[in-house]
Amino acid sequence: MSSRLAQLEEKLAQPLSAELSSRRLNFEEGVYLYTEAPTDWLKIQANKQREMRHGQKSFYNRNIHFEPTNKCVYACKFCAFYRKPTANEADGAWDYSFENLAETLSRYPQNQLTEIHITGGVHPERGVEYGEKLCRFIKELRPHIHIKAFTAVEISFFARKSGCSISEALARLRDAGLGSLPGGGAEIFDPEIRRKIAGAKAPAHQWLEVHECAHHLGIASNATILYGHIEQYSHRVSHMLQLRELQDKTSGFNAFIPLRYRNENNALSGFPEASPEEDLRNYAISRLLLDNIPHLKAYWVMLGLELAAESMDYGVDDLDGTVDDSTKIYSMAGGIEHPGLNSAGLEQLIRKRNREPIERDSLYQPILSNVKLLPN
Ligand code: V47
Ligand code: SF4
């Protein structure tokens, strides 16, 4: 055994694998794993935790993204996507109409998609009424599609704009057809770092409040972290522990999605990106710290296919979905230019890693192959 590993074991007081399955890691231990744990060791431990939960299964779904507008009242420093609300097409701004959305959906036969993921800029003129209309419009066209829409930042703006409580905003959206919340907008919870990279946008306690209210209303959600910019390991650990605490209360989070900061075309562009090894270590530590969130997702559009495949050995059990070239958030910041894979492509990627591909719905129920109506 290497002396580093022996030290780590000493620090955590017991043989580690037993320790990890019998009690949760605390803040100091989380930071210690980031600074001291050998990558191979993290890989083994995280893989064990993944296997205990999911056996050989790896999940994916059939989805598209829709980004209604990139006009935004905020100006997060890491964001390559936003434009000022006064910007026009020549400045790279867009603001899609419901007809544009209908046209997008019409490219997909009924039942080809199980989910539409909607996030975008925070438009100054839009409140809950807009969200309700959008959800109703989609449900009319595609009654069976699951709408995973609006980050906590968008929801808290909707509520303010419409002069209602967060709980009321969420209940109205749910009644209009909203199925779950995506994990975006979490960025990093530490107040000082958050203020530096995301300015005035919803502080951490508001992000957490939106998700807590959603869970109480029976709306499941995801959680993200934006890492690899100006934060320190301690900030990542504290972010995850705040999520773990909320999950202890509500059990409403389905998946945790670490998002590596991509550094093109934004106000932080001088910063180098995290290395692939750092990404893998981060997945493994997330799996170990977040013992109460069932799924760990590698968003392949952000990571690239090769690394997303490798992440399945570091605690990841979910690769998100087919996406079908429908998002610009990452391509504008340095991610894959035209992200799209059909389900056969995702299944092949998963099988190559000796895992069993499971097509899931948005709430992680398997979709049985005999009810898959179309081949995509
Ligand atoms: O909140 C923006 C991130 C998020 C950059 O819930 C960036 O299933 C890296 O939340 N580099 C929105 N990240 C996307 C999101 C998401 C994605 C996939 C699946 C799910 C889910 C949620 O994108 C933002 C922000 O953290 N982001 N710019 C950037 N330059
Ligand atoms: Fe606006 Fe979201 Fe970009 Fe921040 S990350 S500027 S809130 S679109």
At 306-362, the pLDDT tens digits run: 999 999 999 999 999 988 876 776 667 676 666 677 888 899 999 999 999 999 999
The pLDDT of 134-162, averaged and rounded, is: 98
Residue 374 has pLDDT above 80, yes or no: no
Which ligand neighbours the alpha carbon of 153 most closely? 2
Q: Which residues line ligand 2 (CB under 6 A)?
A: 72, 74-76, 79, 81-82, 121-122, 153, 201
DSSP state, residue 155:
H
Report the pLDDT value the prediction gives residue 339, as an integer from 0 to 100: 63
What DSSP string runs through 280-324?
A: HHHHHHHHHH-TT--EEB--HHHH-HHHHHHHTTTT--EEEEEE-
Could you tell me the two tokens for 296? Answer: 């760990």
Report the pLDDT value the prediction gives residue 337, as an integer from 0 to 100: 64
Give Cα 58 distance to the centre of its chain.
Answer: 16
Instruction: Report CA dihedral (190, 192, 197, 198) to the nearest 10 degrees.
Output: 80
Residue owning the nearest CA to atom 8 of ligand 2: 121
Q: What is the mean pLDDT of the chain?
A: 91
Residue owning the nearest CA to atom 6 of ligand 1: 182
Alpha helices of the chain — where are they, by DSSP H?
A: 3-11, 16-22, 27-36, 39-54, 98-106, 128-141, 152-162, 166-176, 191-198, 204-216, 233-250, 276-289, 300-303, 305-311, 343-352
pLDDT tens readout for residues 223-273: 999 999 999 999 999 999 999 999 999 999 999 999 999 998 888 877 899
Enter the pTM of the model: 0.94
Least confident of 124-133, 134-143, 303-312, 335-344: 335-344
